[in-house]
Chain A
Amino acid sequence: MTFFDLARRNTERHMFRSALAIIGIVIGVVAIASMGVLGNSINLMVGDVVSDVGDTIIVSPAVGGGGIFGGGGASTGLSERQVEDIRRAIGTNRAIPVITGADRMMVGATTGGVMIYAMHAEDIPYLLEKESGAYLKETAAACMIGKGLADSWKDEGLKLGSRIRIGDETLRVVGILEERGMSFDVNPDHAIVVPHRWYSDRYETDEYDQVIVKVRNVNDIDAVKDAIDERMNRRDDVVNVMDTRRILESITSMYESVTLFLMGIGAISLLVAGVSILNVMMMSVTERTREIGVLRSIGTRRNELMRIFIYEALILGTIGAVVGGILSFGGGYLMTGVFLGDSTYLFNPTSLLYIAFGMSFGVGTSVLCGLYPAWKAAKLNPIQALRHE
């Protein structure tokens, strides 16, 4: 028999009341933990899906094109001259101009829509990894295809060496690209990549949609961006200059605030739970006034008495936190499953950290809310407490 036993027995004596207080803590912990897990999983997923390493600058025509007086008629692409200007601005770093298009393609007897990226053949190895086959030659009527496209058109016979018909032209598949994931520059997984010359001949265009700049030294990113900006946007905002790391950062920070917000909601519900613990404990102190008087008169010191009550809060909080932790594992599994369609992020250490955080927050809140009633109990005058009916 110890102070802890006394506390435990008191929580057992009022099973129903204790259970209610515990349920409050459980809800709070589950809210915090599963919100945290959800937010964190979103964050992890964004980090996984977005493959850019941060050495990339994307230059695209400014929205609205051609500044204030540009108006509707102005071109919406980047001209060969502008690309040359960009090349001059970036020194020895590589500029990869890209045209993005779409058309209908025919493989065997099947037709379907497809995204087309046109690039200068010599640039392609700098941007895209090849899984099998060969890279393109500028003069050939050939293409490389994304891994996703190859997989989804497998049954139609799309493979290395196949022929793809676009309009009345035929492209031979000479290479298959490695899966690349989602990205801010190009997303060729479900697209075909063709030589720039073939594309500009067929579609009669000499403008690019974007120029991807690969920076050799990541530390130069800001300097290179500034250089492009200075050369291109001297009078009007002709181009947008973005670097992928900044985009990634802003997306990440947005999701972090979402996580924080969700967890804030959890914290409020935990606060409510804390108040219910406070309430339960105050009731306990009032009801046990006489018992407290007895404990004090037969030699229980103030801090020992406080311990009994704090243990009580600790027991309620710990049970609530453990149950809540287990449930938030389930809750996190469900939420990530429902919202993200993928629960594996739940088992990531940082996700588990959020559960641990929710649990300790639950215990902490309980003990904190137990402090005041415990202090109240310890402050009671033993004579008056003994007289209490």
Chain B
Amino acid sequence: MAVIQFQDVTKVYPLPAGDVVALDGVSLDIDSGEFVSIMGPSGSGKSTLLNIMGSLDVPTSGDVYISGSRIGVMNDDELTLLRRDHIGFIFQHFNLIPLLSAVENVEYPMILRGRKTEARKRAVEVLAAVGLEESLYTHKPNELSGGQQQRVAIARALVNEPDFLLCDEPTGNLDTKTGTGIMNLLSRMNDGGTTVIVVTHDPRMTEYSNRTISIVDGRLA
């Protein structure tokens, strides 16, 4: 079953100097349980593609279905709820909320869904699954290493049991060894059934995935 469906998708950024076509007739399906790498040179449209998959943005033309919903016709609140309930985000810069401790960061998406009472138990469970030491649960993000922060971020992305994880260069800010640990973790999550989509510059990362989508100048290659 396809969790993401692009049908002849075009994204145009209108600029004073002329329109920039960031995506040009992209069609693709990503099925549940896949581990997909997206590769391409700088400026080729990877982030644009990922933003639309994450329903942070909508296409200029063509149809996009995310978890069965056609995002082109949705308003801001509907898109936000789609992200909250169906998509897990993992960023290059970890992007934890600095005011919240590790475990609170993981609880946050559950609290957004109104599942406050079970939040702590579930957050601890997921943090254990991503391999964060228990003594670090109450640490603030600035008291954690990059690798630890990214583990917390992965736990936060997983806590609401999303249909898929979107990872924009998840190892871009980590050293090789830590990066490998994170990729192994994502791989293990994928083995457990989680759909994973990773944007990367690093060809070695494609080893973890079972499919690589290449994009050049906004077109799939």
Contact = CB atoms under 8 A, between A and B. Distances in A.
Contacts of A297: 54, 56, 83, 89
A302 B76 contact: yes
Interface in B70-120: 76-77, 80-81, 83-85, 89, 91, 95-100, 104, 107-109, 111-113
B104 A1 contact: yes
User: Residue among B104, B107, B112, B157 with the most chain A CB within 10 A?
Assistant: B112
Nearest to A1: B104
Nearest to B112: A299
Interface in B49-63: 51, 54, 56-57
A13 B99 contact: yes
A67 B156 CA distance: 94
Nearest to B99: A9
A149 B91 CA distance: 89
Interface residues of A, number: 22
Interface in A1-56: 1-2, 6, 9-10, 13
A383 B97 contact: no
A291 interface: yes
Contacts of B107: 1
- Which applies to chain A's interface (DSSP): helix, strand, loop or mixed? helix
A312 to B, nearest CB: 11
Interface in A294-322: 294-302, 304
Contacts of B98: 291
Given A6-B99, A13-B99, A291-B98, A298 B57 contact: no
Contacts of B95: 290, 293-294, 386
Nearest to A2: B111
Given A298-B89, A299-B84, A299-B85, A383 B112 contact: no
A279 B97 CA distance: 23
B100 A1 contact: yes
Contacts of A291: 97-98
B83 A299 contact: yes
B51 A299 contact: no
B99 A10 contact: yes
Task: With a 10 A CB-CB cut-off, give which of B51, B85, B108 has the most chain A CB atoms.
Answer: B108
Contacts of B99: 6, 9-10, 13
A6 B84 CA distance: 18
Contacts of B108: 1, 298
A65 interface: no
A290 B94 CA distance: 11
A370 interface: no
A382 interface: yes
Interface residues of B, number: 28
A295 B97 contact: yes
**Most chain-A CB neighbours within 10 Å: which of B83, B99, B111?**
B99
Which has the most chain B C-beta neighbours within 10 Å: A291, A299, A301, A382? Answer: A299
A383 B77 contact: no
A383 B109 contact: no
Contacts of A296: 80
B107 to A, nearest CB: 6
Contacts of A299: 80-81, 83-85, 109, 112-113
Contacts of B156: 298
Given A13-B99, A294-B97, A386-B95, A301 B81 contact: yes
B103 to A, nearest CB: 9
Given A1-B104, A6-B99, A10-B99, A383 B56 contact: yes
A299 B54 CA distance: 11
Contacts of A13: 99
A386 B91 contact: yes
A83 B58 CA distance: 95
Contacts of A382: 56
Contacts of B111: 1-2
Contacts of B109: 298-299
Nearest to B160: A299
Contact of A301 (B56, B77, B89): B77
A297 B81 CA distance: 10
B112 A300 contact: yes
A295 B91 CA distance: 13
Contacts of B84: 298-300
B76 A298 contact: no
Contacts of A294: 91, 95-97
A304 B96 CA distance: 18
Contacts of B91: 294, 386
A53 B127 CA distance: 78
A85 to B, nearest CB: 83
Given A382-B56, A383-B51, A386-B91, A301 B80 contact: yes
B196 to A, nearest CB: 17
A105 B128 CA distance: 100
A333 B98 CA distance: 45
A290 B91 CA distance: 12
Given A301-B76, A301-B80, 7 more contacts: A1-B100, A291-B97, A294-B97, A295-B97, A298-B108, A298-B156, A383-B57
The 10 closest A-B pairs by CB, nearest first: A299-B84, A9-B99, A294-B95, A301-B80, A299-B83, A1-B104, A299-B112, A383-B56, A382-B56, A301-B77
25 contacts: A1-B100, A1-B107, A1-B108, A6-B99, A9-B99, A10-B99, A291-B98, A294-B95, A294-B96, A294-B97, A295-B97, A296-B80, A297-B89, A298-B83, A298-B112, A298-B157, A299-B84, A299-B112, A299-B113, A301-B76, A301-B80, A304-B112, A383-B56, A383-B57, A386-B91
